[in-house]
Amino acid sequence: MKILNVKTIVSAFAALTLTAGLAAPALAMGSGDKYEDHQVGVGYTVYEPGNTANLNLTNFTARTDCPAGVDAPLIATYGKKSGARFTIEEGNPMCSDIGVGESVYSFKVDGKKAQIYAYCDPSVITNCTKDDV
């Protein structure tokens, strides 16, 4: 049986450490946070909601039907179709329009007016009002 000298053991350890260190960035791509993972692949700022009104994330999708050169917008849906839910669509530029409905709430963000619109499905409701949401 051949006994390895200290120099051989140190060299092997250094090579193993270097290999593990180079592999770590590849493993870091899946952080476990869908918003962070999406941010890595796009040039626009991705915002994750701080409050989801206790609604669970039920869908998180990156659109794939945008023209070449356009970063994929994300669509995140919280809640279920049978109850309360909301959808966030983020991107820049946007390559689609999920629809603009009735303004149901307005407030200020950094001194600028922001509005929340609720979308009513035209196949179900012909004249969308605040009472429909």
Using the Cα atoms of residue 61, residue 49, residue 38 and residue 34 in order, give the sign of their dihedral: negative
Q: Residue 99: what pLDDT?
A: 62
Q: Is the full-model pTM beyond 0.95?
A: no
Question: What pLDDT, in 10s, does the model give residues 61-108?
Answer: 998 888 888 899 999 999 988 888 888 889 888 876 666 667 778 888
Other Cβ atoms closer than 10 A to 51: 6
Q: Residue 81: what pLDDT?
A: 80
In which residue are the tokens 């429909």 written?
A: 132
Q: Tell me, what DSSP letter sits at residue 107?
A: E
Question: What pLDDT, in 10s, does the model give residues 31-51?
Answer: 889 999 999 989 999 999 999
Residue among 81, 63, 90 at smallest CA distance from 121 = 81
Question: What pLDDT, in 10s, does the model give residues 108-120?
Answer: 888 888 877 777 7
Q: Residue 45: what pLDDT?
A: 93
- pLDDT band of 124, cuts 50, 70, 90: confident
Question: What pLDDT, in 10s, does the model give residues 14-37?
Answer: 444 444 444 444 444 578 899 999
